[in-house]
Amino acid sequence: MKSYWKMFLGLMIFALFLAACAPTAAPTPESAAQVFTDGLGRSVQLTSTPQRIISLAPSNTEILFAVGAGAQVIARDDLSDTPAAAQALPSVGGFSGYNVEQMVALKPDLVLAAEINTPEQVKAMEDAGLTVYYLSNPTDFEGLYANLTLVGKLSGHESEAATLNESLKARVQAVTKAAAQAKETPSVFYELDSTDPAKPWTSGPGTFVDLIIRMAGGRNVGAELDAEWAQISQEALMVADPDYILMGDAMWGMTAEQVAARPGWDGLKAVQTQKVLPFDDNLVSRPGPRLVDGLEAMLKIFHPELVK
């Protein structure tokens, strides 16, 4: 009996020794790779989680930092100024063009482009050997949440993106619930550019500006126009006679006093009631998480009595 157990133990020890010595197969790049389809329909393959990311849009930069990937961002575009930490990063260009050679020298794992980047620019970067993902702009808050989830996956921060989305959804729900209690729906003119004060540019139907005004309990007078971004005649504006004028162009120096001084504008209700107000256009023009800040800000303007 003893010899049997000795033989059995000997075989077990030998088997364990062979198992320990057997080589384990290392994961191949193909097995570790993830393939994503971007907004241009391109297949973008990532063999590992990007640790060196270049952001080519302010919204992308804000999203990356918001989902916890800020430490992975090594460069940005000219307009990325939020959060403050992004301003310390080197810029690789902007509307005047991008320095592709500089981008290549930075050795990024991923370049995150957006709709402000043309397909031709994306191709030039791709031809230079860069891995580029083109992130499409969302058209509603569900699209925003989906983009946050996607960037979380791209950057290895899925759980942080999920937590962020949960928080944003709760805030949006709080605004819509409050706006539903509003007894009035004020009309709103959102000014983008008044270089020609007789035909100022505004935001029409299908934009986040239009959506946010409506969700915050207002009515966008630009919704009657036939384009997302369009000029409205002074005559049409006089007929609309908005309750509020929000100056998205305040960031370029426009003031309520300048609006009131325009010929004929002193007859507008918003001017007479001093409801010509500056508004941070970045909160509604950048398709990132601060869109919810813009929604809350408009509710506070239109229905301050409903804000807790």
Share of residues in the chain with pLDDT > 90 (%): 88
17-26, 103-112, 142-151: least confidently modelled range: 17-26
Residues of the chain above pLDDT 70, percent: 90
pLDDT (average), residues 118-134: 97
Say yes or no to pLDDT of 13 above 80. Answer: no
pLDDT value for 5: 38
> What mean pLDDT value characterizes the chain?
91
Asked whether residue 124 carries a pLDDT value surpassing 70, the answer given is yes
Q: 177: which residues sit within 8 A by CB, 6+ positions away?
A: none
User: For residues 15 and 196, what is the distance between their CA atoms, to the nearest angstrom?
Assistant: 85
Bridge partner list, 139: none
pLDDT at 6 over 80: no
pLDDT bin (cut points 50, 70, 90) of residue 32 is low
pLDDT in tens, 249-265: 999 999 999 999 999 99
Q: If we measure between CA atoms, which residue out of 308, 64, 283, 304 comes closest to residue 174?
A: 308
What pLDDT band is residue 129 in, cutting at 50, 70 and 90? very high
Residue 110 in this model has a pLDDT that exceeds 80: yes
For range 179-198, the mean pLDDT: 96
User: Are residues 62 and 288 in contact, defined by beta-carbon separation less than 8 angstroms?
Assistant: yes
**pTM attached to this predicted model:** 0.87
* CA 241/CA 211 separation, integer angstroms: 20
- pLDDT of amino acid 87: 96
Distance between CA atoms of residues 249 and 196, nearest Å = 13
What is the torsional sign of CA 271, 272, 274, 275?
A: negative
Q: What pLDDT sits at residue 25? A: 34
What pLDDT score does 16 carry? 39
pLDDT at 12 over 90: no
Domains of the chain: 33-169 (3.40.50.1980), 183-306 (3.40.50.1980)
**Pick from 19-28, 65-74, 236-245, 266-275: least confident:** 19-28
CA distance 189 to 60: 28
The two tokens of residue 179 are: 């706006």
